[in-house]
Amino acid sequence: MRYCVGIDLGSTTTKAVVLDEDGGVLGRGITNSRSNYEVACDVALVEALTDARFGLLARELEREGFDAARRESLLADLERGFREQQYRAQLDELEGALDQALPKVQERAQLAASVARILGRMREETPELYAPGATRKSDFFRDLAGSRYMHFAEGEARRHELSFDALAGTFDKAILVVENSPQPGRFGSLALAASRGLQGADALIPPIRRAADVLLEEAASVGTGYGRATLPFPKERIRSEILCHGLGAHAMFPGTRTVLDIGGQDTKAIQVDQQGIVTSFQMNDRCAAGCGRYLGYIADEMNMGVHELGPLAMQANRTIRINSTCTVFAGAELRERLAIGEKREDILSGLHRAIVLRAMSLLARSGGIHSEFTFTGGVAKNEAATTALQRLVHENYGEMTINISPDSIYTGALGAALFARRDRRGDMVNVDLNQLKKRVN
């Protein structure tokens, strides 16, 4: 089976979308962006192909006569077990990297013993992390393993009078090695390991093997995103993220005329025609205010995960007016408001509204908002941001269709995959962005 792939290298996450030769989505994958962009692209692609193989497995289970409810339950259990097997394999890699990263100091033996105990506890709790209904801080190994390692390291440092900084520094060195290594394991072996212990495991072996044996061959690829200039792709296989978000939003919602993308490092307001071709756009400046990076900074200040900000903001009884969305001053204003007794949820509600107000300004400069309006990018998964956006759009532009998809973070990668498919078919869309800028300005 031949496929076309689009890869969106963002400042915080790298996404991949794989299309079959008919243009249908085979799979989607996401990973954290890292210092080695080539590895980030490879991991995102592996994740997308893994997702594709789970889709192939679903077809095989259907052919085997499993009813819809049983298929859904089995696939959920298998994927959870699959992720657990991946996590365990990466813990094994982390163990070797930690041993190499231990500082050559007098206390090295004590540090090594503490690291071994930390890893032991991390392995012991793994089944709980991947139990049905379990919530995790993140599915990215660096984030998940990092939070658990630091949690156990704090206890080790207190109990054994060791330097927490030495334990933390060892992890920081080791994780760079692990996350810049190839993804461990293959689909077939990990899926078979995940199937052990499931009810009717023997019946799962043949469909898993058939799904794993399907030959997937790359036919074409296109890269985009904030870091596209550093992608390990030839120049002719790179597309502007503005063009890709426009085309991807049109593919997801064909009636789209206005697109807003709030990503990790920049915000884009885009107008498209009935074919999804960009007619005008505006971008924020290099300041990270109003972007996902700003939310990440606030999360760090509040010692929370980024994914926790939206739910907490939705608990607000009122929305506090925030004077500055500059990351340089945000921490100071946040601490000041907390010191005078303002509630965290009310502050966060105001922060989300301030971010959206900056985006509304960009939309106005790009030509306003026209129905249908599509919100893309990672911030589209934040309920507080989407609620604030919907309210402000309706207040300023009246009632209209606003599209927000659970898969919004993949919009840019989807557009890139569609360009790859068009390139392969010889149906290239040649849009000169410099000429477009001249028309807009």
Residue 391 forms part of a structural domain = yes
pLDDT, tens digit, 9 for 90 and up, residues 210-259: 999 999 999 999 999 877 777 767 888 899 999 999 999 999 999 999 99
> In angstroms, rounded to a whole number, what is the distance separating the alpha carbons of residues 325 and 320?
13
Residue 397 lies in a domain: yes
pLDDT of res. 380: 87
pLDDT of 31 > 70? The answer is: yes
CATH label of the domain that carries residue 354: 3.30.420.40
Give the pLDDT confidence score for residue 437 in this predicted structure: 44
Q: How remote is the C-alpha of 406 from its chain's centroid?
A: 12
Split at pLDDT 50, 70, 90, the class of 106 is confident
Three-state secondary structure call for residue 304: coil
The arithmetic mean of pLDDT across residues 67-76, rounded, is: 92
For position 323, what pLDDT does the model report?
63
Of the pLDDT bands very low, low, confident and very high (cuts 50, 70, 90), residue 57 is very high
H or E segment and range at residue 80: helix 68-101
Contact 8, 233 (CB under 8 A): no
Q: What confidence category does residue 430 fall into, taking pLDDT thresholds of 50, 70 and 90?
A: very low
Query: What pLDDT, on a 0 to 100 scale, did the predictor assign at position 133?
Result: 87
Determine the structural domain holding residue 392 and report its residue range: 254-404
Contacts of residue 297, Cβ cutoff 8 Å, sequence gap at least 6: 288, 327, 330, 331
The phi and psi torsions of 81 (rounded to 5 degrees) equal -65, -35
Determine the distance from the C-alpha atom of residue 303 to the mean position of all C-alpha atoms in its chain, rounded to a whole number.
20
CA dist 153 and 148 (Å) reads 8
pLDDT at residue 189 greater than cutoff 90 = yes
| Buried b or exposed e, range 220-233, using 16+ CB within 10 angstroms | bbbbbbbbbeebeb
| Band of pLDDT at residue 24, cut at 50, 70 and 90 | very high
Q: Which residue has the higher pLDDT, 332 or 410?
A: 410
**Is residue 368 assigned to a domain?**
yes
pLDDT at 435 (0 to 100): 44
**In terms of Cα–Cα distance, which of 46, 40, 50, 49 is closest to 9?**
40
pLDDT at 92 over 70: yes
Whether pLDDT at 441 is above 50: no
Phi-psi region of 186 (alpha: psi -120 to 50; beta: other; left: phi over 0): beta
Average pLDDT, the chain: 87
DSSP letter for each residue of 10-46: -SSEEEEEEEETTS-EEEEEEEE--S-HHHHHHHHHH
Do residues 5 and 384 lie in contact, with contact meaning Cβ atoms separated by under 8 Å? no
Q: Please give the residue that has the higher pLDDT: either 329 or 98.
A: 98
Token output for 74: 């089995």
158-to-114, 163, 422 alpha-carbon distances in Å: 11, 9, 59
The pLDDT value given to residue 292: 66
- pLDDT reported for residue 431: 42
17 within some domain: no
Number of domains in the chain: 1
pLDDT band at 182 (very low <50, low <70, confident <90, very high): confident
| Band of pLDDT at residue 428, cut at 50, 70 and 90 | very low
pLDDT (0 to 100) of residue 253 = 96
Strand order in the sheet with 373-376: 278-283, 267-272, 258-262, 373-376, 402-404
Mean pLDDT for 386-415 is 93
Q: Which residue has the higher pLDDT, 264 or 39?
A: 39
Q: Does 282 reside within a domain?
A: yes
